[in-house]
Structure 1
């Protein structure tokens, strides 16, 4: 046999199991039995609670049966080790859970007065069962209503059972003594069921007090407040407090809400969103909620302490979303609710958030942290909040009249308004990417029309207070033209250039979207008109036309319906031959738009970022984030909850600055800058990509016009300067973090670094559009050059050398392996082969310095070949070098050499001016011009040579 305590536990479980069976048959099942479903809401709710109580009683019965089974097994096989197999010890938490679920269901019924309501429905039946109910209440008076008797009958067996659990387990603990293997398990069970006994007493007292509260309220207030989940903790009628500035007749503290009663009005505050601060006078509590702030004034400090303690612990319990166990105050330190919480709440007061539901982080009554705001009309905002306002990265959806049409703002916010960089996709399918200020487009930005809009457009440029203002580029797909110039109040205003798909260009001054006053017109064939225009860009009044051949026409111009253009003036044909450089001089916009002022809206955020010390948390807001087109995803919750981008694999801004300090030597610096410029997360890489966007918007597509070449090439140089200035700013910040100071850079050193280091690194990013402009500008010259190259390619080497008047003692005949009888042979493309192959490498790079180095090596190869022919070192004079260089150029057959030469000339380091590189480039230009000459292009070979070629 086991111990007497184990035998007593066995009898206790047998009796309790039988009692639960009697309760089920005598009370619970009859309570659930009814001929019809209750029609009123209160009746249906009571029936639901009674069903829940019945289910909890069945679970308690099952656990008790399992406990009884383990005790019987123990008594059949008594041994010291088998004591741990008892369910009460081995799975005490399971037994505890079943008891607490029953207590919770029972107290819900008490609070909702379910027993009284059920008793009224079958009053005759329950009066007949009063004697049987008394038998369940042994030793307890059953005076009172039937409902009260039912409640006592369902509670008393459980309280007595738990009390006996504690007594028998304590006795078992004493019998086992110290050191027994099961001692710790028994102590754990004693603690659990001791806490359960205290918790049960508190839960039952709260339920009874709550039930009694309903009788003190009017029926209207009772209907509002009477719910099963409410448990009254404190009543201002018991410990008085007054409320200011709100007026309240009574204050009720429930375990889930603080309630203020004023007449028939009820103000309920969710305890999860209640913050309490004690006042300085010792009698006041300051209460903060999302939409109200008020104070509770007690009569004395002791009452204030009670209210503060009760409210504080109720808030902690509400945040834990479960009843306190063990009971607060029973040997447990009071909890302090956190200032920051994560709760859902719907706003009710008038204001910007009215009817909106917020789910996310709070701090002291304000939206603070990450969260989601949803309005009934479909608006959504997901992102960061700071003290009640949108602040930080966020995504906002605004419906636009249709379920399928939304404005989607993926932006940075500051104090409730869009600020800094953002991407907005509108319900019209227009897309804006750029900067905001106080909710309006402000700074640099790009606005695209819908992909299939009837009048497609793209604006790339500056904005002010939501309107296009400053320097900007607009493509008008409907009219087939691009405007480059100044804007004001959403209209073209100030100096501007219009480039059309037909190749016609206009430059002048615009007002209210129309060109006014004098201007110029450039046609594709370089005809130039200088004069006045009508508002629809037709010629009118006095003007002058300069034709490509140099002729001029000066007089009065006009047009009429059906008459076309007509003029009356003087045609001057006495001009000398046209200047070949005339085309290059006809460049638009150079004086109208100072290069340093064009893209300030792009440069400014980067300067601000550097000036602020490169704060990592502001990097995306100032410099822009990267996001793919998300029109398909923007309506989904996944899109709403996404971050701006995943964690950057390149590390934090601090890592970027640290790496920058480690690469300051010339070779390391060049490689570092190359890497940084190619990294879309690095500030230098971000700036370069924005500048590439503006460059393509200006000079690609319709903007690929030769008259814009000068505008483009000076812009590339300016961008290189700004990128170098940004690098210097980053370096200054990095050194500052180490307590060091960056030395000032003089103008000469800066120009050397910009042209020698930064420009070659950034030029490839702009090269495609820039070189296209050079091709268009020098198309005629390159065409003449190409014809000359074609004719010269028909010459065999010796005949070409002879034709170019190369002195015969410089001919590398030994290289050709010619005998005296073969001097006039047609061996081709062997002379100066190394120099020719070297020159061809000039098109393998876009770096101006590397191209000049190729030219220098070509010159070296020519001299090396001559030295080999002469058998001695020999410096070639210009008279000898030029024909040899023409020979090498003709054999290299470099396409578009004129465009290449002019690009090198414009982009090379100014420090090379007047030096060797300048001399060699000048020599190459002379060769280019000689090959264009008529005697080169029109030279016809004798028939004998043609036959020998075949």
Structure 2
């Protein structure tokens, strides 16, 4: 590469023969007397005017011409010949690389000098047109200084590893012939002992003189400018920059020479382990003695990137980015902390200890900045302290759980603290939050399995190194666990599900204790077509339980060691009931009693023979009266065996722990969980984690908003809206609680669990969930009031609590469970609804007038005048029909009752319109008209609707208006069900005799 091209940038003849004489001694920015030794006196210099060139500018031009010519000669006489060497060993190749780098940076330095030279020439030629502040030295002072710093760093790296000496030895004969040419670059060459040392001086002396003259010339130019000159501030700043550069260069050169001398004093083994071109020695304990305990180091070396403790031929190295200087002041010693050990520096002389502390602190601060700054001055860092928190990477070597693991991330006082990544050589890695060296907070851990490309992936909250809180674990066996942990084990509520494509697809939803299924839980075995509902202990079914099969058969009994033991109950799909003993594999064995749907009973001893089926010896009783079919099909299981208030304590436990702790924001995420996408995204974990944590960190502020909203909205209407919003959000504690309870409900009563014999169990559970969610709201309210400093809310008595639960909580909660719950009602009342449907179809064939006549509606109450029901009439039974149909469009029991009430009002309004006066209908008149409306409304599964409404109705309505209307509707349902088969005859028996007429509607 040619450094100079013909024409532009060629040195002038005078510059090419002018040697660089040493500058006057003295500190940078010296006195006026020192500057007068090579310039005119300051009082005799004329002040520069705008648009006029000063003698200082002319001197700067001459200095640039000399320096540009010198750089060109250095490149042609020294650097380019050095690059022709052909090294044969690793050290020679490294030296050649450094020289190539130096040559490239010398080229950049020459280019920026040429640009500065051109700007100065333009200024001198056209002083009126080219303003002083447009000079490159002033306009781009930072860039010029940066190029100088790069050149100095490259040059000192060559000095440290003796690159000039190594390259010169390879061509000794050539360099002997170049001595005469080098004399022009350096005076006193004959006194230099070697050619390599001469090259070092040939590159050092011109640059040092150049920087010193730059600073002095710029100071003089600043003095020459008047106070109001627009370029004076730029000139003063540039002079200060070059002054700092001179100090930086002197320090860099001294450190390079000291480092070079150190490598000669060390053994070859230590030198090979420690020597790098960019490393600089800052302090040596041989110069300033210091002792280190408890390591008992023989020698301490402080470099700009590492601290080295020498013990014989062994070197302990500490990355300065991971060295903390204890801020505690002690006149006899100070402590240094590192990721794996701590040690003390001591000295007999307090001033030596102060010096070491100061040097280590400076070195750590500079290492953390990551680059050298020529503006740094020793005095400026005298009072700095090493930051407690920082980011770096480290591989642990000491024995322990982190042995050979590499941590990259945030640290605090020698321990991983904050976000980071921990990787082991076997492929295990953990990405997440750390606290004092332990996993703490949200984290993702991948653990490789023996099978290729198989990982266990733990996405969880951690506390003091163990999983604690909510987590999602995807195992290499294709199992997935979603739930809570404690001390690294599944504990509390959780769901474990195997792959549907696996050999044994299975799902457990329930409680865990110390990693084992324990307490109330639901397990579905898809391969066997069974679902177990009941108690567990030590990973086995133990205690009262229900077993529901895909064929609709239900077992209830007591389990021990995963098998049924003792007496139990069996209910078949056709409502046959067996009460007696079973074998461990649920085969009838021993004494028992079978009750058939028709009321017959078989009591005796049961047994089975392989390949021959079941046999029995007993008494068949056929004399029992026929049972009520409705009571037979309504046999329910589980009631009393599993109290509703004790079923899902594992779900409620984390919430109440959160409330008792005062709802702190840092625990909100552990309660609510987190949103995850796929395992593939999580394996690219560092970036994903930062995004996820940003989202979750915002939720800390939302907790304050949640509590503020709870405290602010306490009036009935506002409270209803507040609860509706809370229950609809997965980021709200109440919403999270509701979603988890929905999960348990679906796991129990959907699929195999959709069995009519579990309807009472499910109904009881929904009501209990409403009570629990209301209590949860009250718990949040108490915390919100405490934070605001207000008096706690008054305790609710049982009556008030029940009123709030049924009037406010249950209507908001019921829609979340309605689908599964209503399915159970449909199955339970399917025979009745089937009979009702047939009656409905038969009665629906009759025209309006015939149906009214068939129902014995008194003719003076008929709304039909022209034998046709006019749909445009406001007062007609069409409106009543439409009102009644709305009971199937809502899930709230109260809204269903309100729709029924509006139906009655429409019927009464129609009758009043027909009679021309207000009229209150007695039951004898109401019931036939209501049957007419029910028939025309054609509501399917009305029995299921009636029974669900009654079960979920507010108990305070019992015996009141709503209860009365629901009883009337149930009477209509029973009448259609009982007499539907006779509806096609010409006459339907009157209803008056079949019913006991209560008081007329509307009467007090």
How far did 1:333 drift?
A: 5.6
1:656 corresponds to which residue? Answer: 706
Quote the RMSD (CA, aligned, Å): 2.5
1:852 corresponds to which residue? Answer: 897
Post-superposition CA distance 1:136-167 (Å, at most 9, x none): 22257733233222211111111111122122
1:214 corresponds to which residue? Answer: 263
How far did 1:342 drift?
A: 1.4
* Structure 2 Cα separation of the partners of residues 650 and 214 of structure 1: 55
Moved more, 866-875 or 919-928: 866-875
1:225 corresponds to which residue? Answer: 274
DSSP 3-state at the match of 1:136? coil
CA shift in 2, pair 1:544/1:331, >3 Å: closer
DSSP 3-state at the match of 1:78? coil
Find the partner of 2:71 among 17, 20, 24.
20
Give yes or no for the alignment of 1:370 onto 2:414.
no
CA shift in 2, pair 1:635/1:55, >3 Å: closer
2:518 corresponds to which residue? Answer: 469
How far did 1:619 drift?
A: 0.9
1:948 corresponds to which residue? Answer: none
Q: Say whether the 8 Å CA contact 1:430–1:450 is kept in structure 2.
A: yes
Find the partner of 1:287 among 336, 343, 347.
336
Q: Say whether the 8 Å CA contact 2:459–2:473 is kept in structure 1.
A: yes
* Structure 2 Cα separation of the partners of residues 650 and 32 of structure 1: 62
Give yes or no for the alignment of 1:183 onto 2:232.
yes
Post-superposition CA distance 1:482-539 (Å, at most 9, x none): 1111111111111111111111111111122211111111110100011111111111
Give yes or no for the alignment of 1:406 onto 2:455.
yes
* Structure 1 Cα separation of the partners of residues 750 and 684 of structure 2: 34
* Structure 1 Cα separation of the partners of residues 330 and 679 of structure 2: 57
CA shift in 2, pair 1:89/1:836, >3 Å: closer
DSSP 3-state at the match of 1:390? strand
* Structure 1 Cα separation of the partners of residues 921 and 59 of structure 2: 123
* Structure 2 Cα separation of the partners of residues 842 and 83 of structure 1: 90
DSSP 3-state at the match of 1:215? helix
Moved more, 133-142 or 274-283: 133-142
CA shift in 2, pair 1:150/1:916, >3 Å: same
2:466 corresponds to which residue? Answer: 417
* Structure 2 Cα separation of the partners of residues 580 and 132 of structure 1: 123
Give yes or no for the alignment of 1:675 onto 2:720.
no
Give yes or no for the alignment of 1:775 onto 2:826.
yes
DSSP 3-state at the match of 1:17? helix
* Structure 1 Cα separation of the partners of residues 419 and 574 of structure 2: 61
CA shift in 2, pair 1:331/1:770, >3 Å: closer
1:712 corresponds to which residue? Answer: 762
* Structure 1 Cα separation of the partners of residues 859 and 141 of structure 2: 113
Find the partner of 2:573 among 513, 524, 542.
524
Give yes or no for the alignment of 1:42 onto 2:91.
yes
CA shift in 2, pair 1:2/1:918, >3 Å: closer
* Structure 1 Cα separation of the partners of residues 780 and 380 of structure 2: 58
How far did 1:856 drift?
A: 2.4
* Structure 1 Cα separation of the partners of residues 409 and 380 of structure 2: 34
1:936 corresponds to which residue? Answer: 980
2:941 corresponds to which residue? Answer: 896
* Structure 2 Cα separation of the partners of residues 535 and 332 of structure 1: 81
* Structure 1 Cα separation of the partners of residues 125 and 675 of structure 2: 74
DSSP 3-state at the match of 1:643? helix
CA shift in 2, pair 1:250/1:775, >3 Å: same
Q: Say whether the 8 Å CA contact 1:313–1:334 is kept in structure 2.
A: no
Find the partner of 1:703 among 753, 758, 764.
753
How far did 1:345 drift?
A: 2.0
Q: Say whether the 8 Å CA contact 2:826–2:944 is kept in structure 1.
A: yes
DSSP 3-state at the match of 1:469? strand
Map 1:370-389 to 2 at 5 A: 370-389=419-438
Aligned positions, number: 933
Map 1:476-875 to 2 at 5 A: 476-583=525-632, 585-631=634-680, 634-635=683-684, 638-643=687-692, 646=695, 652-740=702-790, 741-806=792-857, 808-809=858-859, 811-812=861-862, 815-818=864-867, 832-875=877-920
1:946 corresponds to which residue? Answer: none
* Structure 2 Cα separation of the partners of residues 645 and 310 of structure 1: 38
Moved more, 79-88 or 841-850: 79-88
2:930 corresponds to which residue? Answer: 885
CA shift in 2, pair 1:14/1:873, >3 Å: closer
CA shift in 2, pair 1:342/1:58, >3 Å: same
TM-score w.r.t. length of structure 2:
0.89
How far did 1:907 drift?
A: 0.7
Map 1:913-924 to 2 at 5 A: 913-924=958-969
Q: Say whether the 8 Å CA contact 1:606–1:623 is kept in structure 2.
A: no
Q: Say whether the 8 Å CA contact 2:509–2:521 is kept in structure 1.
A: yes
How far did 1:836 drift?
A: 2.9
* Structure 2 Cα separation of the partners of residues 842 and 792 of structure 1: 21
CA shift in 2, pair 1:183/1:128, >3 Å: same
Moved more, 744-753 or 354-363: 354-363
1:31 corresponds to which residue? Answer: 82
* Structure 1 Cα separation of the partners of residues 235 and 129 of structure 2: 13
Q: Say whether the 8 Å CA contact 1:198–1:327 is kept in structure 2.
A: no
Give yes or no for the alignment of 1:927 onto 2:972.
yes
How far did 1:337 drift?
A: 2.5
* Structure 2 Cα separation of the partners of residues 838 and 650 of structure 1: 47
Give yes or no for the alignment of 1:910 onto 2:960.
no
Unaligned runs of 5+ residues in structure 1 are 824-829, 944-950
Q: Say whether the 8 Å CA contact 2:467–2:487 is kept in structure 1.
A: yes
DSSP 3-state at the match of 2:757? helix
Find the partner of 2:204 among 132, 141, 155.
155
How far did 1:580 drift?
A: 3.3
Q: Say whether the 8 Å CA contact 2:665–2:699 is kept in structure 1.
A: no
Map 1:94-133 to 2 at 5 A: 94-133=143-182
